[in-house]
Structure 1
Amino acid sequence: MAVERYNSPLVQVCLIGLVCFCCPGMFNALSGLGGGGQVDDTAANNANTALYTTFAIFGILGGGIYNIFGPKVTLAMGCSTYVLYAGSFLYYNHHKDQTFAIIAGALLGVGAGLLWAGQGAIMTSYPTRGRKGSYIALFWTIFNLGGVIGGLIPFILNYHRETAETVNDQTYITFMCFMTAGAIISLAILNPDRVVRDDGTRCTNMKYSNVKKEAIEIFKLFRNWKLRLIIPAAWASNFFYTYQFNNVNGKMFNLRTRGLNNVFYWGAQMIGSVAIGYFLDFSFKSRRKRGFVGVGIVAVLGTAIWVGGYKNQKKFSFHHLPDRLDFKKSGTDFAGPFVLYFSFGLLDSMFQSLVYWMIGALADNSEILSRYVGFYKGVQSAGAAVAWQVDRVKVPMMNQLVVNWVLTSVSYPLLALLVYLAVKDDDGKSAAEADTASGIPAPDSNKDGYKELAKPTPSMESNVS
């Protein structure tokens, strides 16, 4: 059995998946507990508002920063802030002072903007056009395995604390160890110009950019009609986390059950991303048809899940909280809310994988896609910042659910329009030819970043750096 080249897109996407397994994967598990594992979710809401406010700014700037400094520096800086955030809740466990958590949240927003811009560029530009859906699925599976393992951590470490409302110190320390490992793994990511696809093309002949050029290119993003069509989906895609984590998992279940629920929530994400990813790559010969049908599938599934959420939400409110459910003691009462929370995870991964696939269909160039993904993450984070404050001021839970439902529903026809106007059936073209067809400058390696190679040379096949 042949060993995959270290400089292949497959290995590099797996590595960025491991980085996100350790950092945002563990962060997701921590957030999924509701209130960051605390009985009072005020500190977590304020910290997450600070986080997503700075994330909104540095998400948009992140693509430019990635193009200036390259992947290793950008990713390592981003990963280091996750460790600080988990440490701030370890501090809060003892001192109940939210100042450190808010500052750490703001710094994490900066770091997350850098990390996700780099991740998005790698995930969407390294694979060939016909394999982008499956590579997105591969990344999403590895990344969300972090949420699964992260969900097991509080479940195991707090299993015998049936009446506890806050997680113990060991939980936060374990999260910090994983996040530190992610920062170290990020140093193994190669620059795009050293990554060679199986068809012999390089991902990009990347030349480090400069501040002036990136400032101009970032400004142009706001005038790009294709990105404007993605704005509602971007805003919605993290807006619903606050409702799901704090008001479903956080309010309906006891501590150990919340940890168990997260195992299945992020496990559902793995299932959903694989299903939609392979559908978007292999279901129909026509890429546009795959896009249209993909939007339809997610729209139908999403509507059904939000209908279930509406029926569940009619049973409780901030003024009439439900009795805490336990996976061992609550019997059949546990089943319905558990399936709903699992379904929320399934929808999230399918919805976001669909949007990433569409972004990847707009270009192949790493520099361009780093800006596109940065724009997506910036808008996404602005929505999340608003959502955490909406919950902090106790906007009725039913109102939160309806807003989330409407936001996702508005996204579907706009995504279908984007498929109609911008997604072309050009899977057979090379990356450079596809970008040229999309209006990107012709394949001069000093301009659009592509260097075509007739076929992989023996040295390429054996190159491990």
Structure 2
Amino acid sequence: MTQVIIVGFVCFLCPGMFNALNGTGGGGQLDPTAGNNANTALYSTFVVFGILGGAIVNLCGVRWTIFGSGFTYALYSGSYIYLNHTGNSSFTIAAGAILGIGAGILWAAQGMIMVSYPREEEKGHYIAIFWIIFNLGGMLGGILPFAINYHSDSGSLNDGVYIAFVVLECLGAFLGLALAPPSKVTRDDGSSVVLVKYTNLGTETMEILKLFINPLMLGLLPMCFTSNFFYTYQFDNINGALFNVRTRGFNNIFYWGFQMVGSYAISFLLDYSGFGRKTRGYVAFGIVLVFFNAIWGGSLALHNKYPDGLPLNDRIDFKDSSRSSGPIILYIFCGVGDALYQTFAYWIIGALSNDNQLLARYIGFYKGMQSFGGAISWQLDAKNVAPKNQLVANWVLFALSVPSMLYVVWRIKEHSEDQDVRVKTDSDLEKYASDVAEDKTSAVAN
């Protein structure tokens, strides 16, 4: 639990701040073009390093990979200060590409810790705890632009907000050093979290290639692709297009805050011992299905009311309750839906195995394919694809992901076959061999 809490606070300070910045629309800029292009670069490199991230974490360990990755978030936030003063987006786009490398590795490490450390019957609870801490970062990141820009509405965030993001993200990077190696982590029942065999570069290369012929991973692919695709529409074409800058921060406080509610609520179902694991998967699938269709239906109604967005001098302010209440409530429900979707996806992956090296690869595949969808969606917005077409694309992609999502749930077993495999990893291999030899010597003596 300590490890999950620590990695939760790392993500509170790094991806949480990034989410808050992205959630303001266009990276907090009046013109979203630079932010959209930076996100395209980010998710393009994230595709590659998301897939490779599990192997990198397995070979290099969680502490130093998270430590190094954290600084790429600070570099990205800092690049907007340069953009504010020069209007040149090249540094921001390059920083986005570098962040994609760091984020792919960080999320592989985070996912491995979150879904392989808990026992099978408490994975939903641990995912929810992480999601609550992580989204506190998004809430804090929403408070910063709301407070700093409360009396100013230039349309873009000022340097002070970006500097605050940089400082917090650097703190998150250093916090990664507080994590323990998996070989030294035990659960509260005294069992070790190490469930894997010795690995090396050749093994990791072959195992990554096998992911692309694994029926379960191919079944997850549409769900992975869709899982971040909707951010562009929600951040840029709802929050960014309809609200003034202080209200965007205000909205993000609740968008990320209600993510905590959504994740915590569904965790009770995912860990409920009164139903079998597959039955819980079917019920959670039904909830996600209904919720997302309701979200896209509401988004269509809002789009029909404001088909071209709103001009800068007529953006909605949170104090104008006659105009703000409906769109804000919809945006909040978008946050709840995101939490339900992501928690369910992580739970499915965690239900496929307890092997932490295998799960690091699975999470890396999930994040890589997720980023593939994200790269396309941000570029669609950068190319000024009509908001309604983006909305339709989101709804269609979700519909297409439903059959394969159901297939993977159908393949879930009541207990993972590898749950009793306990073989030491790389750092403990020599000690493990020594212990075995000592046991044999003792047995012969007896």
- Deviation by residue 1:174-231 (Cα, 9 ceiling, x = unmatched): 0011101100110011111111112322111667732221111100010110011111
* Local SS of the residue matching 1:282: coil
What is aligned with 2:108? 117
Matched pairs, number: 428
1:445 is aligned, of 423, 427, 432, to: 423
* 1:424 matches 2:417: no
* 1:308 matches 2:298: yes
- CA distance change for structure 1 residues 71 and 104 in 2, over 3 Å: closer, same or farther? same
Could you tell me whether the CA contact under 8 Å between 2:197 and 2:425 is conserved in 1? no
Could you tell me whether the CA contact under 8 Å between 1:284 and 1:290 is conserved in 2? no
Write the letter of the residue equivalent to 2:275: K
Could you tell me whether the CA contact under 8 Å between 1:67 and 1:208 is conserved in 2? no
* Counterpart-to-counterpart distance in 2, 1:240 and 1:424: 30
* 1:393 matches 2:393: no
* 1:229 matches 2:219: yes
What is aligned with 1:52? 43
After superposition, residues 192-341 of structure 1 pair within 5 angstroms as 192-204=182-194, 209-282=199-272, 284-318=274-308, 323-328=314-319, 330-341=320-331
Deviation at 1:435, TM superposition (A): 3.1
Bigger proportion of residues as helix: 2
Could you tell me whether the CA contact under 8 Å between 1:444 and 1:450 is conserved in 2? no
Structure 1 residue runs without a partner (length 5+): 1-9, 427-433, 452-465
Could you tell me whether the CA contact under 8 Å between 1:78 and 1:111 is conserved in 2? yes
- CA distance change for structure 1 residues 320 and 335 in 2, over 3 Å: closer, same or farther? closer
* 1:408 matches 2:390: no
Write the letter of the residue equivalent to 1:325: I
* Local SS of the residue matching 1:238: coil
What is aligned with 1:435? 417
What is aligned with 1:146? 137
- Deviation by residue 1:311-355 (Cα, 9 ceiling, x = unmatched): 111123348759310011x22111110011001000001001101
* Counterpart-to-counterpart distance in 2, 1:16 and 1:151: 21
Write the letter of the residue equivalent to 1:139: F
* 1:364 matches 2:342: no
Could you tell me whether the CA contact under 8 Å between 2:59 and 2:201 is conserved in 1? yes
* Counterpart-to-counterpart distance in 1, 2:308 and 2:364: 35
- Deviation by residue 1:255-307 (Cα, 9 ceiling, x = unmatched): 00000000000011111110111211126331111110010011111111111
- CA distance change for structure 1 residues 205 and 413 in 2, over 3 Å: closer, same or farther? closer
Deviation at 1:447, TM superposition (A): 8.2
* 1:61 matches 2:52: yes
Could you tell me whether the CA contact under 8 Å between 2:40 and 2:375 is conserved in 1? yes
Deviation at 1:416, TM superposition (A): 2.0
Deviation at 1:413, TM superposition (A): 2.9
Return the TM-score normalized by structure 1. Answer: 0.89
* Counterpart-to-counterpart distance in 2, 1:79 and 1:106: 14
1:157 is aligned, of 139, 145, 148, to: 148
What is aligned with 1:187? 177
Write the letter of the residue equivalent to 1:196: T
Could you tell me whether the CA contact under 8 Å between 2:25 and 2:239 is conserved in 1? yes
What is aligned with 2:70? 79
Could you tell me whether the CA contact under 8 Å between 2:241 and 2:309 is conserved in 1? no
- Deviation by residue 1:112-145 (Cα, 9 ceiling, x = unmatched): 0010000000000000000000100000000001
Could you tell me whether the CA contact under 8 Å between 1:68 and 1:210 is conserved in 2? yes
Could you tell me whether the CA contact under 8 Å between 2:288 and 2:340 is conserved in 1? yes
* Counterpart-to-counterpart distance in 2, 1:409 and 1:395: 21
Could you tell me whether the CA contact under 8 Å between 2:76 and 2:95 is conserved in 1? yes
Return the TM-score normalized by structure 2. Answer: 0.93
Could you tell me whether the CA contact under 8 Å between 1:206 and 1:449 is conserved in 2? no
Could you tell me whether the CA contact under 8 Å between 2:259 and 2:338 is conserved in 1? yes
Amino-acid identity (%): 49
Structure 2 residue runs without a partner (length 5+): 430-446
After superposition, residues 89-104 of structure 1 pair within 5 angstroms as 89-104=80-95
What is aligned with 2:367? 377
* Counterpart-to-counterpart distance in 1, 2:189 and 2:321: 55
2:121 is aligned, of 101, 113, 130, to: 130
* Counterpart-to-counterpart distance in 2, 1:338 and 1:256: 13
What is aligned with 1:456? none
